Amino acid sequence: MQTRSRFLPNPKSLYQRLNDEAQRLRKEARGTQLGVERERLIREARQAETASHIDQWLSSPGLRAPT
C-alpha cells in the first residue's frame, strides 16, 4: 500500500515565502502598540529576512564548497 504525502508542493520558492512572511510581520507590527509584542514581531520579521538572504546565498551558482 502506498502512503501519500500530507504536504502539497508550494509553487513559491522558499525565498519568496520568507519575504512574504517578513512583510506580513512588519505590517502586523505597524498596527501594534509599542511593547514586547511589537518587538517580537519585528524580531521575527528580521529573522525571516535573514533566512531568505541565506537561502538565496546557498542557492547561488557561485557558491563554492568549503576547503
pLDDT in tens, 16-40: 999 999 999 999 999 999 999 999 9
Q: Given a cut of 80, is residue 4 above it in pLDDT?
A: no
Model pTM score: 0.75
State whether the Cα torsion 46-50-51-55 is positive or negative.
positive
Q: Where are the domains of the chain?
A: 14-58
Q: Given a cut of 70, is residue 15 above it in pLDDT?
A: yes
- Spacing of C-alpha 39 from chain mean position: 17
